[in-house]
Amino acid sequence: MNNKILGVYTSGGDSPGMNASLRAIVRLAIHNGWKVIGIEKAYKGMLEKNFKTLDLNFVAQIIQRGGTVLQSSRYPEFLKKEVRQKAYNNLKEQGISALICIGGDGSFKGLSALHKEFNINAVGIPATIDNDIYGTDLSLGFDTASNVVLSAIDCIRDTADSHGRVFLIEVMGHNFGFLALHTALSGGAEDVFLPQDNLKIKLPQVAANIKKRQSRGKKGHILIVAEDLNKQAYSYQIAKQLKTIAPDIDIKVSILGHMQRGGSPTCLDRSLGARFGIKSVELLEEMFLLNNPKQLAVVLKQGKISSLDLKDVISRKKELNEEELSNYIRILAG
């Protein structure tokens, strides 16, 4: 297919900045002569033919809005080849020759399969509050979610200090711990539990540190817990074990949940959304002109926007690599 028709969708867990990116894509692509079709609810929408031609007005007044105006979905059925074939037939019916997927790792896998099987021009824009996508320093939504968590930490700190309590605050992050580590450091938490931590070793140290700090007059304690999807009610398990080791400590649990995915995107997420959007349209323009379909992801590396092969991005794991920071978090907490 060699039509200048672009399909764009937001997929997986929504994240602040998706709308800012969509705005940039729609406006620049139309400027460059593309027809832009929004695919509502991502892969599910491809199957259900939820196609909508987007004009300049569609993306008005969305730069400041969290969530995604195109809506999103999780659609594991897309792992099946016959489902992708049907989706492709529907894309073909619309004349779509290029796709931009704004989403996370799982969504990129669907995009990569579509490119591989049907040779469609494909670009992925990293968007997830988990910040767990290989090759990019930041994904859309991470900064906003971090700030939402920080506001919660600040609020809980007030009541923790007032009662001399220990709070376990559980944050999202999909078993990777980026959000937990980053917010523990910036929120002045006393400690952080990462999914790879061994509780048997860690908990006695945490209890001893709490007692030491309390004896020098420290009132409240904030312990950030990275969600662990393999362990049900993880923070409650930690609280129970901590209570067994140190029965006199007053412990409360606060699981922040989906509020972390909402809210108006920060300046950083809006500008990153625009920069990712611009780059993705430029890449598609190049593929189209050279008649050379590729699968790429746009990334932020050391302050610069560039692109990587989508195959590499989905096949490699982003390492936390900063675990030594949890030592410093404890030291800085005094």
Given the complex with ligand F6P, which of 121 and 128 has the nearer CB atom? 128
Single residue of 13, 45, 124, 126 touching ligand F6P by CB under 6 A: 13
> Which residue shows structure tokens 């309590």?
165
* 89: CB partners within 8 A, 6+ apart: none
Amino acid at 213: R
Length of the chain (residues) = 334
Stretch that binds ligand F6P, among 160-168, 172-180, 282-290, 313-321 (CB under 6 A): 172-180
Least CB distance to ligand F6P at residue 174 (A): 4
Beta-strand pair 121-126/98-103: parallel
Site string for ligand F6P, 89-108 (x = CB under 6 A): ---------------x----
Q: Tell me how far the alpha carbon of residue 136 is from its chain's centroid.
A: 12
Burial state string for 251-274 with b = 16 or more CB within 10 A and e = fewer than 16: bebbebeeebbebebbebbbebbb
- Which one of 130, 143, 191, 228 is the catalytic residue? 130
Q: Is 74 in the site for ligand F6P (CB under 6 A)?
A: yes
**C-beta closer to ligand F6P: residue 130 or 190:** 130
Judged by beta carbon, residue 98 or residue 129, the one nearer ligand F6P is 129
Q: How far is the CB of 319 from ligand F6P (least distance, A)?
A: 18
* Measured distance CA(69)–CA(91) in Å, rounded: 20
User: Rounded CA gap, 246 and 165, in Å?
Assistant: 13
The strand ranges marked E within 121-188 are 121-126, 166-171
Q: Is 50 in the site for ligand F6P (CB under 6 A)?
A: no
Residue 143 touching ligand F6P (CB under 6 A): no
Residues 6+ apart with CB under 8 A from 148: 256, 259, 260, 262, 263
The reply to whether 124 sits near ligand F6P by the rule CB under 6 A is: no
Structure tokens at 104: 């996370």
Residue 156 CB, shortest distance to ligand F6P, in Å, is 19
Decide if 130 is catalytic: yes
Return the range that interacts with ligand F6P (CB under 6 A); candidates 167-175, 290-298, 300-308, 324-332: 167-175
Should residue 128 be labelled a site residue for ligand F6P when binding is judged by CB under 6 A?
yes
Cβ proximity to ligand F6P, 73 vs 112, nearer residue: 73
Nearer to ligand F6P among residue 106 and residue 293 (C-beta)? 106
- HSE-up of 120 (CA within 13 Å, CB side)? 30
- Binding footprint of ligand F6P on the chain (CB under 6 A): 13, 74, 104, 128-130, 172-174, 227, 261
**Which residues participate in catalysis according to the annotation?**
130
